[in-house]
Structure 1
Amino acid sequence: MVRPLQTSDNLSLSTVCLRQSDNCALHPLAYALEDEEPVLSVQFLLRYPMLKLGDLAIDNALVFGDVKVNESKKDEDGNAPVETARAIRVFYMLEASEDADRWIRLFLKHMAAYSEESSRIFWTSSRSLADEMERNGALLIPWMPWAALALVVFCMAVCSSRDVVRSQPFIGFFAMFNAAMATVASMALLLYVRYPFLPLVFIMPFLVVSIGTDNMFLMLKSWRLSPEADVERRFVDALTETAASLFLTSLTDGLSFSVGSVSDFYAVRVFCTYCAMAILFMFIFQVTFFNAVMVLCCRRELAGRHSLLCYKVSKKGAKVVTVLVYLVYLAASINYALALPLGLDLKLLAPLGSYAAEELRAQERLFFDYGPYCFAVVLLRNRSLTNPEERRRLLLLYNALSSSKYASKAEFWLEDFESTHSGRAFTNTAFNSAVHTLFAERTKFRNDIRFDLNGDIEATKMLLRVRLLGPAHDKPRAEFLRSTMRDGGFDGFAYDTSFLLVDQQLATASGVITNVITATVTMLFICVLMVPRPVSATCIAVSILSINLGVVGALSSVDTRLDIISMITIVMSIGFSVDYVTHTTFHFIIQKDNRLKKCLTVMTEPILQSALSTVVGVSLLAFVPSYIVRTFVWTVFAVVGIGLLHGLLFVPVLLELMVPPTEYMQPYNAGTH
């Protein structure tokens, strides 16, 4: 099935395989399955976890899955005949070359079309997870035109009214066009300077659109509320009323992504850099191109060529109810946030239904007990293994590393060496001669020792077998192996591929906390500069933290993990959360009397329109079968919903309760300057 596969230029498995002497380095099971009578050939290999034939040891732990053995026939090493096995796994080790990559692509194409009636086949390769992650971006592309069309129609519809003169559908259209220009310009500039690109960046246009439409709705509302009849005066009034909050939201959005653009995580850094650059271009186009469009549309309206607001009068009872609702919201958010699972699950990186994800699930389910190999490297500088006491201590360390349920013994050359030289003291020459004699007999150990220029051993490798596969055991395994190495009396380190995920899990948690604190402090600093009123600025900072806490809780409630993907979306939510509360706060403190009513009169409609446009823009992406895209969609829904709740309910009540009448900011009046 696999060995006969050949590319158009006759590349086959035997051409690109990793060789051991003259033959491919394959498990005997791979040869047995290619035999004319595979059932008979496999019978000779059915012992678990190891098959020992004299000095030859064949590792079957990785090839037989979900095994039941005959316990009564176990040998002294714990190996027993296999009674049943629900899965067989075959490894094909390839050299690192372009030819091997081409053969892998042929293999993946062949396996996608292959099927068996009597069994289910899972397959993967060294390229599979990376290729499947890139497919997330490809899955987004077909939905982008439809999402853009839905947004254009929505924006044009909400900018229209029954009065054909006062309708402004082209403002809605050019707001979308403005966002599209910002997206294209930012990507073109970064690609021109050869900045890296990831498929994840395809999500970025939807964020830029939501920011652009938010500003557009606010400017249009201010225009419609202006009593002036002159185009210039009316436009200046609308622009001066909204300029501070537009600049503030653009600045805070850009800075929140700038914080992410210096992240330690490559994906976070690339995504946030593209977003920050797009927001910069968005602001530039907003104050140039879009303002010009606004002037032309407003001239058309005033030349005659061609509102429903509901609010409740603030009462003490309503404030008490709002505070109680907020306390319930806060308790639920904290409860879910504390339950947010940590760490990246590799199965979730591939699109739903991906063969690579299915293979990983099958691996965890069927090959749970025995995993691949891990190892420890021990540095032996200033130590000599000619001393039997040093060798004994090194063996004690090996036994300690392999004594837990997370790792067991595999191979260590010193065990074989001590079986014939136990307790013997050597001279340097005699010891090296004995070691080289052992390695001549057992060539598999040759790469387990590193000699220095003087011929002394400066480092050695201990091979261990991973036990108990799965994310739940990765962190305890890392902690056990690392602590055992620290306490073992030797310099060195232990390593398993799962350590990458464990370290990333720890870095993600600290990174999210650092980014949230940094971004919040930055937002607070900017708010104090733009809104120099301490109580109001503090209300904005508290609201940002509250919204982000709610977003984390909402993500936890839909089984999202705290990983690199959610880290990106949480950084994104910091910038988004500023928009709602800043607009509300700014329009609250520029009112002298009846502040809550006047603030909501101006802000309710544009905030609702902005929220709806954002939801419309990403709603179609909910159908994309990808965890990455789904996390993004859920984050946007959570930010919009929770931000709306804060902007129109919690923050107005907080401002009414906390901000004194003396904390007033005189609005700019174009007529007096």
Structure 2
Amino acid sequence: MLGLAGAFAPILGIGSALGAVSAIGIKFTSIVGVMPFLVVGIGIDDMFILMSGIAEAPSLGASSIEERMRYMLQKSGIAITITSITDLLAFGIGATSVFISIKNFCIFTGVAVFFCYLNQLFFLCPAICLNEKRTRQKRHFLSCMKIKSSNEVSKASLHKYCCTGDIPENRGDVESALEKYPKLFVIRFLLKPILGKIMIVIVFMAYIGASVYGAINLKQGLSLYNLVSDHSYFYKYSVWDEDYFTTEPIITFVGVALAVMFVITILFMPHPLMVFIVTITLVSILTGIFGFMHIWDLTLSSITMIHLVISVGFSVDFSVHICHAFLTVRSEKRDKILQLAFDKAGGPIFNAAFSSLLGIAMLGLSQSYIFQSFGKVMFLVIGFGLLHAALFLPLVLWFLFPCFSTKKDDKNNIQKPTPLFSICAEKYDKNDLSQDNKEPIQISNIIDLNVEISRKLNLKHISSCTHSANLSLKCIQSIPVVYAIDKVLAYTHKKVAIYSSGKHELSYWELFHSLED
């Protein structure tokens, strides 16, 4: 049902944009018919990012719904905000075109992107919250009736698969095959082994070579005969006259769009090296689009100009998602942080790319040059964006990992503060009371403390217990905590009381007393 809500959000945005823009007197042109395919792809992308955030949040057993929703918006809300703003600004730049059809298209689509973003926050997020309540109450997704746990039904039957279920404990319990297996293949066979990394470098060099060659030979000018039938008299005339047709300063438009994306990246990702990496990735993708436009027999014209301006905004999306994931995961090992980051962002990226390609695939059936060229350019944008986010960019971040790590200096044993923190928080073994938990928990505000302790201990906070009278104290654990505020690291410890339930297994925890040095 959440899938339907996620698909309905961009549809509502499209309807709102058509009504609002038409109400102010802007005419609907034929090229605006492409807008729904574009906005649905953007909306589905945002949905996958939000769903990835809620799947990554602490389980319902270890945290409240409010904490899970807060976690989702903290992690995924920033990502969809960045991509929505970059897309909106790209269309804003396109709206300055002197061509009426292009201007109207960008206005309609920009307003649709804005409404789509609002619907993600005020329609899809409440739907996710309602689904969380349904899941906690163990109700069926369709009938909303109470269901039994799958462990309570012994035999495999249709009733077991359709009318039973369990509360998800981790991300793997809610991932689809399209999320799980493509990223596992990329991690195990391409990103992890040395041979895979070498193959990625070779492919990237071939990509750059082909892109530069195509970009150098790319022709500028609109071939008017592409707009009419091959049998038209105007077709023959346009072939003769095409050398005299003038176009807008296309490169200037793309340059302005690139500069705007750079500024937005600085505002939302205030890490100089990350901003540089995203910018270089964007230039690489645009070079590939220019180059392969020549290979695909497209010219640099007023028609493809709008597609290129749009591609600037779209090219940022996948790169921002993988960089944002790299900034939020915690580990001190290169291969581990690469695996964690791609495991977090890889699924949504593959899902978004696949759904977007499905959306534009129908444009291939059109006989219109405008629609065909749009479909080709968007295919290049999504394909190269996926290629960079899944292969090239993770390898670059892996190589530059020492610039981000927080490894201790062996000389003075002091951890150097840095804007990017990567502290590993491994799960606590419920059956091992002797575990020291020496690996520190890192938080940026006091609100995250309970969530992170629950995650580390893999236990529930005592506030979620309905039978506290039946609990017995088993041990007191001292857990190191690092408060990360801007570039300042504050080290301390929290003493935690761990309780067992009537079944003599560790189940709940609570803070034993206040902070101590």
Residue ranges of structure 2 left out of the alignment (5+ in a row): 141-171, 173-179, 405-417, 422-441, 451-517
What is aligned with 1:542? Answer: 280
Separation in structure 1 between the aligned mates of residue 82 and residue 444 of structure 2, nearest angstrom: 16
Whether 1:647 aligns to 2:389 is yes
SS state of the match for residue 201, structure 1?
Answer: helix
Per-residue CA deviation, residues 445-495 of structure 1 (Å, 9 max, x unaligned), is xxxxxxxxxxxxxxxxxxxxxxxx343xx3xxxxxxxxxxxxxxxxxxxxx
Whether 1:553 aligns to 2:298 is no
Deviation at 1:181, TM superposition (A): 1.1
1:158-237 equivalence runs, <5 A: 170-229=1-60, 230-237=64-71
What is aligned with 2:117? Answer: 283
What is aligned with 2:367? Answer: 625
Separation in structure 2 between the aligned mates of residue 264 and residue 539 of structure 1, nearest angstrom: 33
Does the CA contact (< 8 Å) of 1:174 and 1:293 recur in 2?
A: yes
User: Which of 433, 436, 448 is the matching residue for 1:671?
Assistant: 448
Using a 3 Å threshold, how does the CA distance of structure 1 residues 642 and 668 change in structure 2: closer, same or farther? Answer: farther
1:589-668 equivalence runs, <5 A: 589-593=327-331, 594-658=336-400, 660-661=403-404, 662-664=418-420
Using a 3 Å threshold, how does the CA distance of structure 1 residues 316 and 539 change in structure 2: closer, same or farther? Answer: same
Using a 3 Å threshold, how does the CA distance of structure 1 residues 275 and 344 change in structure 2: closer, same or farther? Answer: same
Separation in structure 2 between the aligned mates of residue 668 and residue 278 of structure 1, nearest angstrom: 35
Does the CA contact (< 8 Å) of 2:215 and 2:294 recur in 1?
A: yes
SS state of the match for residue 27, structure 2?
Answer: coil
SS state of the match for residue 232, structure 2?
Answer: helix
Separation in structure 2 between the aligned mates of residue 540 and residue 337 of structure 1, nearest angstrom: 21
Separation in structure 2 between the aligned mates of residue 622 and residue 530 of structure 1, nearest angstrom: 36
1:58-69 equivalence runs, <5 A: none
Deviation at 1:620, TM superposition (A): 1.7
What is aligned with 1:259? Answer: 93
Q: What amino acid sits opposite 1:175 in the alignment? A: G
Per-residue CA deviation, residues 41-74 of structure 1 (Å, 9 max, x unaligned), is xxxxxxxxxxxxxxxxxxxxxxxxxxxxxxxxxx
Q: What amino acid sits opposite 1:526 in the alignment? A: I
Q: What amino acid sits opposite 2:213 in the alignment? A: N
Q: What amino acid sits opposite 1:519 in the alignment? A: A
Whether 1:303 aligns to 2:137 is yes
Whether 1:587 aligns to 2:465 is no
Per-residue CA deviation, residues 235-260 of structure 1 (Å, 9 max, x unaligned), is 22222111111111111111111111
Deviation at 1:314, TM superposition (A): 3.4
What is aligned with 1:246? Answer: 80
Deviation at 1:557, TM superposition (A): 1.4
Whether 1:563 aligns to 2:301 is yes
Separation in structure 2 between the aligned mates of residue 668 and residue 633 of structure 1, nearest angstrom: 44
Deviation at 1:359, TM superposition (A): 1.7
Deviation at 1:518, TM superposition (A): 1.4
Separation in structure 2 between the aligned mates of residue 653 and residue 233 of structure 1, nearest angstrom: 33
Separation in structure 1 between the aligned mates of residue 42 and residue 18 of structure 2, nearest angstrom: 17
Using a 3 Å threshold, how does the CA distance of structure 1 residues 515 and 550 change in structure 2: closer, same or farther? Answer: same
Does the CA contact (< 8 Å) of 1:581 and 1:651 recur in 2?
A: yes
Deviation at 1:576, TM superposition (A): 0.8
Does the CA contact (< 8 Å) of 2:28 and 2:104 recur in 1?
A: yes
Separation in structure 1 between the aligned mates of residue 278 and residue 443 of structure 2, nearest angstrom: 19
Q: What amino acid sits opposite 1:619 in the alignment? A: A
1:511-526 equivalence runs, <5 A: 511=250, 513-526=251-264
Using a 3 Å threshold, how does the CA distance of structure 1 residues 653 and 302 change in structure 2: closer, same or farther? Answer: same
What is aligned with 1:269? Answer: 103
Residue ranges of structure 1 left out of the alignment (5+ in a row): 1-169, 366-468, 475-497
Q: What amino acid sits opposite 1:196 in the alignment? A: K
1:480-519 equivalence runs, <5 A: 498=244, 501=245, 503-504=246-247, 507=248, 510-511=249-250, 513-519=251-257
Using a 3 Å threshold, how does the CA distance of structure 1 residues 335 and 239 change in structure 2: closer, same or farther? Answer: same
- Quote the sequence identity (%): 28
Does the CA contact (< 8 Å) of 1:182 and 1:278 recur in 2?
A: yes
Q: What amino acid sits opposite 1:190 in the alignment? A: V
Does the CA contact (< 8 Å) of 1:240 and 1:668 recur in 2?
A: no
Whether 1:577 aligns to 2:318 is no
Q: What amino acid sits opposite 1:349 in the alignment? A: L
1:434-473 equivalence runs, <5 A: 469-471=240-242
Deviation at 1:538, TM superposition (A): 0.7
Separation in structure 1 between the aligned mates of residue 266 and residue 389 of structure 2, nearest angstrom: 19
SS state of the match for residue 650, structure 1?
Answer: helix
What is aligned with 1:323? Answer: 201
User: Which of 269, 272, 276 is the matching residue for 1:531?
Assistant: 269
Q: What amino acid sits opposite 1:186 in the alignment? A: A
Deviation at 1:570, TM superposition (A): 0.7
- RMSD after superposition: 2.1
Per-residue CA deviation, residues 595-651 of structure 1 (Å, 9 max, x unaligned), is 211110111111111001001112122111111111111112111111100011111
Separation in structure 1 between the aligned mates of residue 72 and residue 225 of structure 2, nearest angstrom: 51
Using a 3 Å threshold, how does the CA distance of structure 1 residues 668 and 568 change in structure 2: closer, same or farther? Answer: farther
Q: What amino acid sits opposite 2:8 in the alignment? A: F
Separation in structure 2 between the aligned mates of residue 470 and residue 201 of structure 1, nearest angstrom: 28
Deviation at 1:320, TM superposition (A): 3.8
User: Which of 201, 215, 219 is the matching residue for 1:341?
Assistant: 219
Whether 1:361 aligns to 2:229 is no
SS state of the match for residue 206, structure 1?
Answer: helix
Separation in structure 2 between the aligned mates of residue 581 and residue 175 of structure 1, nearest angstrom: 22
Does the CA contact (< 8 Å) of 1:241 and 1:668 recur in 2?
A: no
**Larger gyration radius, structure 1 or structure 2:** 1
Deviation at 1:672, TM superposition (A): 4.3
Aligned residue-pair number: 364
Give structure 1 regions of 4+ aligned residues with deviation exceeding 6 angstroms.
666-669
Per-residue CA deviation, residues 12-48 of structure 1 (Å, 9 max, x unaligned), is xxxxxxxxxxxxxxxxxxxxxxxxxxxxxxxxxxxxx
Separation in structure 2 between the aligned mates of residue 260 and residue 363 of structure 1, nearest angstrom: 30
What is aligned with 2:483? Answer: none
Deviation at 1:315, TM superposition (A): 4.9
Per-residue CA deviation, residues 536-583 of structure 1 (Å, 9 max, x unaligned), is 011011111111111222222111121111111111111111110000
Separation in structure 1 between the aligned mates of residue 330 and residue 7 of structure 2, nearest angstrom: 35
Q: What amino acid sits opposite 1:664 in the alignment? A: L
Separation in structure 2 between the aligned mates of residue 623 and residue 361 of structure 1, nearest angstrom: 22
Does the CA contact (< 8 Å) of 1:592 and 1:664 recur in 2?
A: no
Deviation at 1:317, TM superposition (A): 4.7
SS state of the match for residue 625, structure 1?
Answer: coil
Separation in structure 2 between the aligned mates of residue 605 and residue 595 of structure 1, nearest angstrom: 16
Deviation at 1:668, TM superposition (A): 6.2
Per-residue CA deviation, residues 308-359 of structure 1 (Å, 9 max, x unaligned), is 3402363555434322321211110111122222211222123x56xxx622
